Amino acid sequence: MVRKIFTITKRDIKSGLRDYMILYIIIAPFILAVVLRMMTASVGLTTINVAVDKSIDEAFIEYLGQHVDIEIFENQDDVKNRVNDTDDIFGLVKQSDSYNIIQQGNETGGGIDVLDFIVNSYENQDLELPVEVNISDVGWRLSPFKQFGGNLLTIFVSVFGGMIILMNIVEEKQENTLAAVSVSAIKRIEYVIGKALLGFILPIVHAFGILAILDYGDINYIMVSVVILSIAVISVIIGFVIGVTNDNILGAISSMKMLFVPILGSIFGAIFLNSKWHFLLYWSPFYWAFDALNSIILQTATWSQILINSGIIILITAIVFMMLSKRIKRGLS
Amino acid sequence: MMKVLYTFLKDLKVSFKTFYIYIEIIMALIFVVILLFVVPEDFTSKEVLYVHVDSSIESNFITRELEKHDDQGVVFLESRDEIEKVLEQDRNSVGVSISKDDDKVVYDIVLQGYENPKHRNMIEKSLVGYLARELPEYKSVTEITTLNNYSERLTDRINLLPMFLLLNSSFTGLFIVAAYIFMDKEEGTIKAFAVTPAKVWQYLLSKMGMMLFTGFLTGIGTTLLVARLDVNYFYLALLLIVTNAFGTAVGLFIASFYDSIIKAMGAIYVVIITFAFATISYFVPSFSPFIIKILPSYPIIFAFREVFLENPNISFIYYNIAGFGILAVIFFIWANNRFKKTLTV
């Protein structure tokens, strides 16, 4: 039985390698992780961007450069044009003995006030302040951008395994090999497990790779495996359902596209929504996976939390499976 | 042109058979439901500031100033140690401990530790500048000019729409058109097509029309349901047509390099994920590295945002329409030249 299962898996890998798709799917997440790592290396936390012209003297530019990111332009008009650009950047020009801070008006956050204080603190440097300001920290070196970015990437690519299953099934249908399999000595269950194996192996390989590339330090990879395996189940099921219910690749690919909405929706929701709104996401297995991975990355995860979250994911999956198992059976026969 | 129209109508029929159109519409509806019933109108969570004011401080000024910001998440704690403890639990927060040393008030700002030196200096200097304003000999040397007094901010909910329009309506063709062509290849439609008097460009244009139909339908429909009539539909329609044509032309161009859907899909995925990076800079406008700014998706998502504003930047919208219109034509001609050699084989 095991040998037959592996035969099916091996055949899928072989046909995937023949047209590079599997290679793409295997390599792409690692490339994205490297890109993310490069991006997070330069972002400690977003700072304020300021466009200045030649009216600002060198000493002040140097002072500003210690606090904000600076772009230097020839004249005031160029500064204004830059401020009018799509991203958030303020302008700063000198007029006789005062400074003019230029904003577009739609900038986010309180950047304008901060810049105002910084410019004034330069001009009022000689004042004797009756206060002292110190900056210290609690020694946490992981930026939110990296913390959430790696997590998002890991969960997002966990569906790639399902995608491969789906593509393989659709391809088999098109080439009529499915009918050939049904008259061979392979039982349906062996065939299904053989097909599904890839959907479990890939997400684990990806998750380990992405988390290692982003280097979160000493995280518990056994916990990672448990969470990823439980989330892989749902991708595998979805891969099967879409695969067996679509006779052509067009419907299959557009159905796969549909999956992206709940995945991205629940993850962005978990990041940006105030915690009092999180109950709105409880239906989504991807939310629970994100929540568990987040704790693992922050190194605050406990086994009870991981098991509870994975349990919820499996429970939701079981409900989905019960609703769809008939369709899978029908599609495979 | 009649041939294009005929092929287009035939494609439309087929797509209803393959459920493709239904899937697109259902997806748009799911998105609408999520936006209207799940996403609160404004949901951005703010950093919490944890404050400890030592008992040696008798100034009411500090407490008064802090209480002004009560609605922005200021939480008072009993000691500096407690701040550290809470910061370790809540990684999205910062703290400040205020005490007295001789005659000086000491502000000890406690950060997480991932903030770069610039960010630290910025926080320090802005607090110094803020406190210095209270001194009698302080002189303010700044004035603020706002270039666009009509600037408005969208609600968090509406702000999500441009992302959907970009990834779903503009790029629907980028995602799907390759699958269409290869499906025709598999089913022998292309061979049948080769013996008709119709030209390859007419076949490709009909596919483009099909993609435009779905992209336009889902884009306008979603906007109508979520943002109602507070939108400039004329500009939205123009943008949708041009950016969708651009996306499909790029999809055709990529597809022309491959001989099977599986291979083409790999390349298309990489392109789509790369394009999607523009959404990061859209949501965090102070983070826009050059590498993201050169992506075509970057101006598109901001152009979509303009159509929701009461006073849109019209020149920016037209600049996008013209730019992507030209690019769409270039990529289409390019793809057509390549397909002319390969499609009938």
DSSP A5-58: HHHHHHHHHHHHHHTTHHHHHHHHHHHHHHHHHHHHHH-SS---EEEE-TTS-H
Residue contact A134–B149, C-beta within 8 A: no
Could you give the angle at the alpha carbon of A156 between the alpha carbons of A326 and B283, nearest 5°?
A: 130
Residue contact A105–B148, C-beta within 8 A: yes
Quick one: how many helices (H) and strands (E) in chain A?
A: 13, 5
Residue contact A269–B119, C-beta within 8 A: no
Residue B146 CA to its chain's centroid (Å): 25
User: Looking at the predicted structure, is the pLDDT value of residue A21 above 70?
Assistant: no
What is d(CA B78, CA B50) in angstroms, rounded to the nearest whole number? 10
SS3 letters across B297-318 = HHHHHHHHHHCCCCCCCHHHHH
Chain A residues in contact with B137 (beta carbon < 8 A): 127
* Cα→Cα distances B200→B196, B247, B253, Å: 10, 19, 14
Residue A279's SS3 state is: helix
Best to test chain A binding among B115, B126, B135 (most A CBs inside 10 Å): B126
Q: Give the distance from residue A189's alpha carbon to the nearest chain B alpha carbon, in angstroms.
A: 26
Residue contact B141–A83, C-beta within 8 A: no
- The residue in chain B having the minimum alpha-carbon distance to the alpha carbon of residue A251 is B20
User: Looking at the predicted structure, is the pLDDT value of residue A43 above 60?
Assistant: no
Residue contact B101–A132, C-beta within 8 A: yes
Q: Give the distance from residue A5's alpha carbon to the nearest chain B alpha carbon, in angstroms.
A: 24
Residue contact B122–A39, C-beta within 8 A: no
**Residue A135 — very low, low, confident or very high, per pLDDT cuts 50/70/90?**
very high
* pLDDT at residue B46, as a whole number: 62
Average pLDDT, chain A: 85
* pLDDT at residue A20, as a whole number: 67
Chain B residues in contact with A46 (beta carbon < 8 A): 284, 286-287
Chain A residues in contact with B133 (beta carbon < 8 A): 120
* pLDDT at residue B208, as a whole number: 94
Q: Give the distance from residue A250's alpha carbon to the nearest chain B alpha carbon, in angstroms.
A: 5
CA atoms within 13 A on the CB side of B327: 19
Lowest-confidence segment of A31-40, A94-103, B154-163, B259-268 by average pLDDT: B259-268
User: Looking at the predicted structure, is the pLDDT value of residue A88 above 80?
Assistant: yes
Residues 304-323 of A with CB under 8 A from B: none
- Identify the CA nearest to B244 among candidates B307, B175, B306: B175
* Cα→Cα distances B37→A206, A282, B26, B221, Å: 34, 15, 16, 17
- The residue in chain B having the minimum alpha-carbon distance to the alpha carbon of residue A255 is B23
- Identify the CA nearest to A137 among candidates B74, B114, B86: B114
Looking up tokens 């945002």 gives: B305
Please give the residue that has the higher pLDDT: either A206 or A259. A206
Sign for the CA dihedral angle at A116, A122, A123, A129 comes to: positive
Q: Give the distance from residue A25's alpha carbon to the nearest chain B alpha carbon, in angstroms.
A: 7
**Residue A185 — very low, low, confident or very high, per pLDDT cuts 50/70/90?**
confident
Chain B residues in contact with A167 (beta carbon < 8 A): 262, 265
User: Which of B39, B110, B186 is the closest to A174 by Cβ?
Assistant: B186
With contact defined as beta carbons under 8 Å apart, do A24 and A83 qualify? Answer: no
DSSP 8-state class, residue B34: I
Best to test chain A binding among B86, B112, B124 (most A CBs inside 10 Å): B112
Residue contact A250–B180, C-beta within 8 A: yes
- The residue in chain B having the minimum alpha-carbon distance to the alpha carbon of residue A137 is B111
List Cβ neighbours of A188 (8 Å cut-off, separation of 6 or more): A182, A332, A333
Mode of pairing for the β-strands spanning B142-146 and A90-95: unpaired
Residue contact B144–A66, C-beta within 8 A: no
DSSP B229-263: T-S-HHHHHHHHHHHHHHHHHHHHHHHTT-SSHHH
With contact defined as beta carbons under 8 Å apart, do A89 and A51 qualify? Answer: yes
Residue pLDDT tens, chain B, 345 long: 787 888 888 888 877 776 778 888 888 888 898 888 877 777 665 678 899 988 877 667 777 777 776 666 788 898 999 999 999 888 778 899 998 888 788 999 999 988 888 889 999 988 888 888 888 888 889 999 998 877 777 888 899 999 999 988 999 999 889 888 888 887 787 778 778 887 889 999 999 999 999 999 999 999 999 999 989 999 999 999 999 999 999 999 999 988 777 778 778 877 888 898 898 889 888 778 888 899 999 999 999 999 999 889 899 999 999 999 999 999 999 999 998 887 664
Lowest-confidence segment of A58-72, A204-218, B39-53 by average pLDDT: B39-53
**Which run of H or of E encompasses B109?**
strand B104-111
Report H helices in B69-188.
Answer: 80-89, 117-132, 156-159, 161-164, 172-186
With contact defined as beta carbons under 8 Å apart, do A294 and A147 qualify? Answer: yes
Q: Give the distance from residue B31's alpha carbon to the nearest chain A alpha carbon, in angstroms.
A: 7
